[in-house]
Amino acid sequence: MAIVLGPNRYGKAEVRLVRLTRTSTTEHELCDLDVSVSLSGDLADTHLRGDNAKVLPTDTMRAVVYAFAQDEPLPAIEEFGLRLARHFVAAHAPIDTARVRLVEHPWLRIPAGDGPHPHAWIRGSGARYAGVLHGPAGSEVCSGIQDVTVLKSAGSEFHGFLTDRYTTLAPTRDRILSTSIEARWRRPRTCTGPTDWDASFRTARDTLLRTFAETHSLSLQQTLYAMGEAVLAEQAELAEVRLTLPNRHHYPVDLSAYGQENAGEVYEATDRPYGLIEGSVRRDDAPEASAELPWE
């Protein structure tokens, strides 16, 4: 039985990039990114014989990220990722496929006496994500959010579930529901033409948050589906939404040992173990995503 080289790729992970756009002497714009590049193609020689003639150093990948950030004001991270991916494939013949992952960390302007400060920020919560794949079949992009922690103190139930002799969880018709949203949405490769990535991102993010808040939840699974369905209903060009929702449990504390009654006001918040709800919502006529698309 022969031993052969399987699928492989290599790259530079988590290049830290801060891009400052000086719109005036005092008014600045800030973009804070982690950028990861991964390349694949005709690279068997380096694995099998240690021949690096077709290997682009990962240090060069890092340099390209910084150089492309300087060329012009930084576009939406999806567009920036597409430019990087297309460059690596076009510039180096042994490379046929490039994957780029981008995470944008939010910074909020610090309030000043007469409005937001023009060049001082405080780091916000949550992050914007983009995953780009460019190869022989063309380009494919997914966008998303991650580490967006949300909570609703009413409008959530959980009952009627399967039980066995190990079940101790009591059913409830009133509970705190909290999760940290990781969501991804994608366009099919057949979707061509210019895209307003920023507007699409804002719409999807706002739809996810609004649906979480407004859906009367009988389970986090039901909420997941409602969130994905709402995003697809509002943006016809999107093909699929994938969601990962860890259940950030909040348990009422039993105060009876202290002679007190807890009327749903005091809770213990636990970070582990936690329920993990994952799922996708897609159009039934949409083409499948490429297996190489970097969802994470």
Q: List all residues 6 or more positions away from 167 whose beta carbon is below 8 Å from its beta carbon.
A: none
Residue 152 known to be catalytic: no
Rounded CA-CA distance 74/104 in Å is 12
Tell me the pLDDT tens digit for each residue of 147-199: 999 999 999 999 999 999 999 999 999 999 999 999 999 987 755 556 899 99
Do 132 and 151 reside in the same domain of the chain?
A: no
Torsion, CA 167, CA 169, CA 171, CA 172, rounded to 10? -170
In this structure, what DSSP letter does residue 258 have?
G
Do 229 and 160 reside in the same domain of the chain?
A: yes
The residue annotated as part of the active site, out of 46, 58, 60, 195, is 58
Do 81 and 151 reside in the same domain of the chain?
A: no
Q: What angle in degrees, to the nearest 10, is found between the helix axes of 77-91 and 197-214?
A: 130
Rounded CA-CA distance 189/138 in Å is 7
Contact 176, 250 (CB under 8 A): yes
Average pLDDT of the residues in 275-283 = 97
Note the pLDDT of residue 24: 85
Note the pLDDT of residue 127: 98
What stretch of H or E contains 83? helix 77-91
Residue 87 known to be catalytic: no
- Among the ranges given (19-28, 88-97, 265-274), the one the predictor scored with the smallest mean pLDDT: 19-28
| Domain stop point among 104, 136, 168 | 136
Tell me the pLDDT tens digit for each residue of 39-94: 999 999 999 999 999 999 999 999 999 999 997 778 999 999 999 999 999 999 99
Q: What is the CATH number of the domain that holds 201?
A: 3.10.270.10
Please indicate, yes or no, if residue 2 is contained in any of the structural domains: no
Average pLDDT of the residues in 259-277 = 95
Structural domain span for residue 59: 8-136
Do 295 and 177 reside in the same domain of the chain?
A: yes
The residue annotated as part of the active site, out of 105, 134, 152, 249, is 249
Residue 12 known to be catalytic: yes
> In sequence order, what are the beta bridge partners of 15?
35
Do 295 and 159 reside in the same domain of the chain?
A: yes
Note the pLDDT of residue 194: 65
Please indicate, yes or no, if residue 1 is contained in any of the structural domains: no
